[in-house]
Structure 1
Amino acid sequence: MSKSASVVRLFMGFILIATGVHASCPIELSPPSVVVRYGDPVTINCSTSVSPLEGLGWEVTVNGTGIVEVNHLPWTVANLTEWTISPSCFFNPSENSSHTQCFKKAKVVLYTFPETISITCSGDSKGVMKENKDYNFTCDIHNIAPVQNLTLRWYKRDTIIHTETFDFSAKEPMNLTSVLLGFTPTRQDNGVTFRCEAHMNLGSEGPKLNLSSQEYKVTVHFGPELQCSGTDLLEGTDLLEGDSLKNHCLVEGNPTPSVKWLKDGQPIDPGIPMSRTNSGLYTVEAEGSSFINKTLRVHVLYGPELKCPSSYTALEYSPHNITCTFEGYPQPEIMWYRDGEEVELPANLKRRDTGQYLITASNNLSSVNTTLEINVIYPPSEIVELEDSEVELGSEFWLKCSSMGNPRPKYFWNYYQMSNVVEKSEDGVSYLLIHNATAFNNGSYTCHASNERGNVSKTARVTVKGARQECPIQISPDRMVIQYQGTSQTAKCQVTSTAITNVKNKYWQIRKDDRIDNEDWRDVDTYKDWDLRPVCIATFVGIGTCQKHLKFTLYKTPDSVSLSGQTGPMEEGKQYLMQCDVANVAPASNLYVYWHKGKERFNIGTFNDTTPTPVNRSSTVTLTAHRDHDGTQIWCEARLHFMPTAPDTPAVPSKSHKMIVLYPPTFIKPETEMLEIKAASRVL
């Protein structure tokens, strides 16, 4: 095959690979990636196990090859200096091969690393800096590549204070400058050193290169400054008797300043012990990096004295007149403590202020203290620990009522009293213990706490899960059924509780604005109270107001019951509508119409009618005539049904109707084919 044909096939292979026709290329590069120092030699081997083949080739700007019919083809450069080099090995298969033309690129990283890097500062060339002034450091790196593999680290002493990387994509060498901005030295930085380090990470194939700049040593100049221990110079300085200015006030600076003390314009020896008669104005002059002249007032101290009463009693919210006297210089600080914590005693004492207090008077010389017992008389506090509860049916639980007061409060409870509830008091707390919780333990429980200063109360709600709230009312009888124009009856409304204190009130509510405050009620108008709804209402401690309805019915039996529909003969197989009319009956919701056919009850009619007054109602049935019905009596009867709470009314029947059913004759075949007929007999 000609060389030009190989080039065409190679170009076609590029297209196939680029479009994803063949995803695997049988080429192995060794090594697949290399890291080379600028000017050093490099060799990469390209090989394939496929045979036969047309050949392998290297396409590269330096020392490239054509297609060579070999299974192993190296690419070698003696001095690599091209920064953007990107060699590719090409594979051309034989004409009948299952492989396609393809190529692989080798990764080549060319680098260069400087021999030195330098650090400079915007300050004095000798490293002298002024305290609290801003300075910048600069690190210069020349002729380095590739910069994207470079990490620059700034060190203060041996601590990294800044790290910088570079995202330049260029492969050629660059000159880089890193600036560390805003270093503000303090006197603690005197003698500290700075340096910058370059770190080149070329991956697992290459070396890890490190280079450090020279160290830059900082000298910080400050002062002179006058420092008196624990003293604000604007207010003066305080000395214990026997102390000296030299020990108490120091003049600091770099370089070390010269110092002179004066009083009333005359030099003094600052090392002489001070007495209280030496209080006054003093001047200090110091010269170093700069010159200062400061004046301060010196005080001589003596210890505090404190006098307070041992106890004090007050009414809550009343202004107190507790008087404690103290003296000392400087003026002592008075502190009040309670239970180890600092407090501020209010002008008007409250219940929480009762207790023992420690009072201290102190200054920078000494401290003294005394104790004071304060007793505040106050009414009971808001009740705590009494909360709504949800308990299981049959369970045992307790309610807790706690209040703080001085004197200690006394307790009493309001609730629906039951035999399974026990009251108990212990350590100023009241408890309600409930055993075997029932539905009657549902409700509110109010605890009252009182003493000579006042009283408070709180209510909690108890819910017994699985127990329906019951109204402790019993109505006897619970159902009253009275006939129209009949005799009235008596209903009793009684409470089931044996504790009289559980009941607040009880009455009958018969009609709107018709209240009867009696246990018995019998005021029924049997002529017109069709829609009467008597209710017994009672209010109970703990439960509140509840009620029970008396199931009341005023009824009227029908004036008449009549049957209508087909009264003449019926044809077998046809359907006929029959109607039972019930006149002037109440209430219709309790009306039952029973249909009879001979001895058979074949239908029952009911009514979803809530009208309480007398009405006319009809029940209908559809009959399909049959010869068996011929001669059968059919009728209906009406009855008011109140069972099981009251007896049913007697049935009121209609007149019966005899059914006549017409049907065609039917020949009945005899059991034998031969008939014996006597002379003179009739054959039907």
Structure 2
Amino acid sequence: MDFFLWGLLWVTVLCPVDYYVSSQACAGKEPVIDPPSLVVKYGGLATANCSAQSEALIIGWETTVGAITEYDTQQLVWSVPSVTEWALGRGIKCFTTSDEDGQCETDLPITIYKIPENMILSLLDHTGALLEGQQYWLECVVQSVAPANHLIVIWSRGDTELKRSGFPQFSIEGDQSKDVTVRTKLSLTASREDHEASYHCEAKLDLNTAEPIPETRSSIQLEAVFYKPRVLQTSGNVTIFAGNKLELMCVADANPRPSYQWRHKGVVLPNKNNNTLLIDSATADNAGVYECVISNTQGQASAVMSIEVKGQDCAGKEPVIYPPSLVVKYGEPATAKCSAQSNATIIGWEATVGAKTENDIQQLVWSVPSVTEWALGRGIECFTSSEKHGQCLTHLPITIYKTPENVILRVLNDTGPLLEGQEYWLQCVVESVAPANNLIVIWSRGDTELKRSGFPQFFIEGDESKNVTVATHLSLTASREDHGASYRCAAKLDLNTAEFIPETRSSIQLEVYYKPRVIKTSGNVTIDAGNKLELMCEADANPRPSYQWRHKGVVLPNKDKNTLLIDSATADNAGVYECVISNTQGQASAVMSIEVKGQDCAGKEPVIDPPSLVVRYGGPATAKCSAQSEALIIRWETTVGDITENDLQQLVWSVPSVTEWALGRGIWCFTISDEHGQCDTHLPITIYKMPDSVILSLLNHTGPLLEGQEYWLECVVQSVAPAKNLTVIWSRGDTELQRSGFPQFSIEGDLSKDVTVRTKLSLTASREDHEASYSCAAKLDLNTAEPIPEIRYIYQLEAVFYKPRVLQTRGNVTIFAGNKLKLMCEADANPRPSYQWRHKGVVLPNKDKNTLLIDSATADNAGVYECVISNTQGQASAVMSIEVKGPDCAGKEPVIDPPSLVVKYGEPATAKCSAQSNATIIGWETTVGAETEYNIQQLVWSVPSVTEWALARGIKCFTTSDEDGQCETDLPITIYKIPENVILSLLDHTGPLLEGQEYWLECVVQSVAPAKNLTVIWFRGDTELKRSGFPQFSIEGDLSKDVTVRTKLSLTASREDHGASYRCAAKLDLNTAEPVPETSSSIQLEVHYKPRMGSPSHNVTMTVTEGDKLDFNCSAEANPSPTYQWMFNNVILENENNPTLIIESIQPDKGGVYRCTARNIRGEGFVEMRVDVVSNYLLWIAIFVAIAIGVLLAVSYCVYRTHHKKHKTGQYLLTKIKHGASNSGQVAQANGHSV
């Protein structure tokens, strides 16, 4: 027996590989090459060392350059002083030959790179100036570069990166196994911003070298871009007194330099091509509409201004036009009425169509049956003449609109499928629409609005004073989520019309090609020898991917399936399997490991301490393996060298610096013994790498942001691992906004190594974002002794441009005649706004101030004042009213009942006005239902249906008497409208929510008024969470009418939210006799969360008695429902996929550690229970006591019986039997007595 054991030990020492790898003689004996791969510069030095792993008779290098062979040596260096032979790029081979193993060999992959000799960036097939709106191509030629499949060309405009192009998008000239010339192009639609702009292309070789390979760059400065004029600034509409001097001005941006022409009443004015027009002394002839026509070779634009020339006595005597402005559809009729305010001898309309004049009447109607003359868009004028006041006039602004004839949405300059990660442009063309400056194009993805584009962001073809064709673009970086997605653009005219103007839409469905991403694998599997096993890996990819399985470097024959079947597992099947998934866009891989156990390995596997490793890249790693039974051999098998020892029970694996990413697949410890054969245990290793840098930037944008527009912040985390454990935390100031995690990232590189991660945050700019600080923090979530610090980048936004919002006004004022008054309106706006004051339709000369001073109030100063606040982003207005009372009106003002009105839109309204003194005239001054009566003391104002929003400015009742003159009282009116609809939805998200992620709930309240009295109440179930009110809302529409209101609620999903109902309720807070009913909408959430263990909730130890029944329960709370796995002493218990484990009668061999693991797609939870089984001592004691009592009773009985015979019955003597006639049977005698 001793001889047999020594022989077995000798064989295992010489041939240890036979126990744990395949039967191939070379497995584990291949020569080792250092380095295992080479990246070398063309013309540079290359060297590598080959070492035999067993005693070699011959060692050699097989190569086209520098082949060499040596005998009886164990190392051989291959070296070439200058690599100029491209054939080396196919790799070379080192081989060894020995008596025992024959010939074994190892390949050395070689990558030869060559920095480009030259780069040329040029404008393809074009010279001279570019024309705005035309498409051109920039071509970048990279000469004499290798290898092409590692080349990246980076396109930039100024300092802004535009696009990255890579293989196979290039056009290649030459043999790809050598240096080649590469051509790649960038599409350019010329715009005025490209005028003399600088474009660059950079060639970068993306190779794993010790030192970075320098980039090569070429630049081009575009020549002039010719673009048609765009009006930047004009004098606007001007009111001037006769005799004053005036200079009109219009400024335009154009190239080439434009010419200017001024027109008045159809006549071209002599102005010597200036952009200003001087009027030395204004007269009535100078009144009217002026057109400034700006032209160059690319087209023209025009600006319209009007001059109103007043005589000193025209103030308050101008004709009144109703309506004060017109919005009319092209081809539809238009009409307006002009009324004189004083006794007119002449009244007339001055217009390009429908001009007329009448004598001795006080009203004149202008009417056109079909508006087809675009010149009417400049407006028309009504004038009156009287002997007392001369000529006075009023301008009627007219807006002519035309709904689009067609809307076309397409991918610009591309046909066929989109490629993931590439940037494209969607173009929306709106044909034959007017006016362009009131057009909004709304971009949507599915039901989610992405962006709104408006004037002047459009490309426009045609004369902007007529119907034009408009083009606008949306940048799109294709992603797998866009595959099959529907994009839509809707053209909407934003005009103040009584009738709703419908949107015109166009949509497109995208197809995207993207490389594989692993969705699901079998993971690491432990199986008993002889059992059947199927490995599986699933991936998301388009086009459909192919699958390849590898084991120990060998490609397995599997006919391109995503499953691998092993009919009967043996030790040869143990180890790491790689599933490589490929399509035309790239590849991904998944690693799984199989541990094959003999039937007698259960509980005898080697124990590794620690059972798993988390180690920093470049840091040390160590682990100890201990045999659980007497081992002949103990061995570590790793990608950085195997360690084998004989007759040891422990073996330490240690690496001073982890730089080999292949270790991330884990390593194995094996033991071999006579009793159990080979047993093994896997050590999972996670290698992490802190990011080299984190960069946060605004994607594809420079300069100020525009309120309401969507932008993207991009966070780039460079050289980090592992990506699946990375979380990017977005914040605004100190407020966390969102967390992004794998697989939401866009990833560059091999996921088994360090990669560059890109993730984006959508930002809809608001005034609160003005110069706000945004940050992204990269955090690795790993189970380490000390937390891994975050790396954060902070980015401060530039200015946000937003339209004015009124903050404060003087409100409605009552003042006595002769007193001084200052009206004021304050607004929040960027850029700084301009202010214009209007009274009775007349623009007041106020030099752009936000205050209006009245030195001495008169009756002419009474009425409604409008403060119009404008900047480049839009305008807002505030209305104030002045009531001027005579000194003797105090206490004599008319009394209105009720003193204020709150009325529902579309409902009737009524109020009664009563004079306090004997009135000769009583009347209501209002836009609807105005009325005047004589010699009565009461007058009722009534409207059957309130549909005119202008009534919300209030109306006025006035009385006139001989004694007190005119006195008046205001009636404030609030018009409210219950929302037409309330919609509650999850913003930019569909499907289940993920626990711990942040989301936004958006509540949209449609067609409600007034917004300043609206409160939105958020509920979770019956619990109120928050109240939102004005001005926290995002508002679409004119605040003086019904608007659409949007407000959001931040939600960090938790398991308590699963099945929860969220609700938003819109409530109008008004002083009404009956409360205004709420309108609400609700949504029920589904949340996915990982298992949380129930009872027991932590690791426990219990002592049980042999033979007892044991009932374990480890129910977990999770969604989706979890699967359960039970392990006993690290061995999986089969057919136990439920939360309970019952052992009817426990025995000592069932003592140990029981581990219950609950898993779902969100993660896992586990609980461990240590069970100590003790013998049933009471049973043994009872048996012992019973035996002792039995023995005692038996001894007592024997003693008793002996004593009784001796002392009670005497001594008995047996004698011979005597036979006689009188005797029959036996007779015994004792002491002379017969018995």
Report if TM-score (shorter chain) is over 0.5: no
Give the structure, 1 or 2, with the largest relative contact order (CA under 8 Å, sep 6 or more): 1
TM-score, normalising length: structure 1: 0.40
Tell me which structure has the larger Cα radius of gyration: 1
TM-score, normalising length: structure 2: 0.23
